[in-house]
Chain A
């Protein structure tokens, strides 16, 4: 058992600091790259990519469009030009294939903000606070589409911190920073992991897109799990681990929940190397633990 304040300490001891932070570092790099390619233009005059996360044009040929924004526009009553439609279809196809919420942990600029809030939250030992159901974000997604249809506007973009932060960094912003600060404080003081994990309709949307996506984390070596709970401590969507990790031999070790953001942090912090990235068709046998913990849920199911 490790100290809950520093999950992954065993992993650092066994794999070294780099080994225990590999996916985290790659993820931060990815986030930096996705921001950086948009900043090459305004900062260095290299216009490979123009626009922002809502819509962009790469090398003057590849259009990319945020499909949720376009969808709001469509329910608001505007049928977009072909360029935007093509861009949205490309984005949809990529995330449907690779993993919907890969957007959340590898691209979204708000992720470092809420991760920082969570880090500080753990450091300060603050209470969990308000914990609405994870399904709240689906309700909010529905609300956003309903408001778009009723007002005839792309409603969520008026306040969406995701695009606002990225647009603010790329195009400049002042008042918008207050909203980003609000998200940070919300996660820090009001609801632990509240924004990304429970409310953000963008994450909800990409979760739906990635229902059947290919890239998956697997608890392939789950027999080696020593119940240190570090993976649960770092996972932003704790509920997704249990079925895979605690499953019996007959049950799949793949984390198939669309809520999983494929952040890979569980792989990093596991000293036993239980987890790894694989694809959803991976049928390698992964025996469950010899002595599965009899959880109340399983007992109920058995009854």
Chain B
């Protein structure tokens, strides 16, 4: 019998096999985790992030789930997501219908954030964009039906800016007005007080994430009346403006703007 050779210090075949096994296992585990991570980026519409939160993809890279924002919120608005609750596990969110954001002047949640997931550049709470309120159901909104509820308008911290009551003719009765709650996204912080206060069993005004709430004009669109106002005259020089035919019975009527050299 030949003497056994001592085993080489590193068995190459075994090393390669072990490495391949480990890599395969990690590929499986990693793929599952990556899939779950991708799902977690789809934040449910009713889960709102605290003021100053980065955009969701950036937020998930920045938030370490420490809960310091939750602790420093004086109104217990925020909570941390449980496993499988919708928002990524452990991240802070609030549900406007339950407890809305009270929009503290000193924004303690942003100050508490150690990583910048809540952007410290947000120093004026009126600049917060947690979402945008949308009157989602005009068929049930009491104001839209011609009644005077006005609650969403009254509770809005940016009353007359974020929500206005726009007066319209009430076609149903023929001689009443409708005071339609109208949201102006530019001023709406998405605090959710309107949604929380809506008197109906299911709120007809809801705060939605901006991606759902807003449309977007094409980059090249220009609103003629805004351009004219900016320029103080017609946008295109030398345009022919035909004389307006004025009604006989309204001699006082005059067009809003008279074009120079058109003999109106």
Contacts and interface: CB of A to CB of B under 8 A. Distances in A.
B61 A77 contact: yes
Contacts of B64: 54-55, 65-66, 69-70, 73, 84, 154, 157
Interface in A71-130: 73, 76-78, 80-81, 83-84, 87
Interface in A126-150: 132-133, 135-136, 139-140, 142-144, 146-148, 150
Contacts of A57: 68, 112, 114
Interface string B230-256: 000000000000000000000000000
Query: Which of A41, A54, A66 has the most chain B CB within a 10 Å cutoff?
Result: A54
Contact of B33 (A50, A84, A155): A155
B83 A153 contact: no
Contacts of B62: 73, 78, 80
B34 A155 contact: yes
A303 B9 CA distance: 11
Nearest to B88: A158
Interface stretch (A14-22, A167-175, A224-232, A278-286): A167-175
Contact of B37 (A133, A142, A151, A164): A151
B18 interface: yes
A136 B25 contact: yes
Chain B's interface size range is 35 or more
A243 interface: no
B33 A158 contact: yes
B38 interface: yes
Contact of A171 (B6, B30, B61, B80): B80
Contact of B116 (A50, A81, A167, A171): A81
A153 B61 contact: yes
A51 interface: yes
Contact of A157 (B22, B58, B65, B112): B65
B72 to A, nearest CB: 7
B114 A153 contact: no
Given A143-B26, A155-B37, A47 B84 contact: no
Nearest to B29: A143
Contact of A159 (B36, B41, B58, B120): B36
A8 interface: no
A41 B88 contact: no
Interface in B46-91: 57-58, 60-68, 70-72, 79-80, 82-85, 88-90
Contacts of A81: 113-116, 120
B70 A171 contact: yes
Contact of B65 (A136, A140, A148, A167): A167
A156 B38 CA distance: 13
Nearest to B116: A81
Contacts of B38: 151
Given A54-B65, A63-B114, A143-B27, 5 more contacts: A81-B116, A150-B34, A157-B88, A158-B33, A167-B80
16 contacts: A51-B67, A52-B66, A57-B114, A78-B58, A78-B117, A80-B116, A148-B61, A153-B37, A153-B88, A154-B63, A157-B88, A158-B40, A164-B89, A171-B67, A171-B70, A175-B82
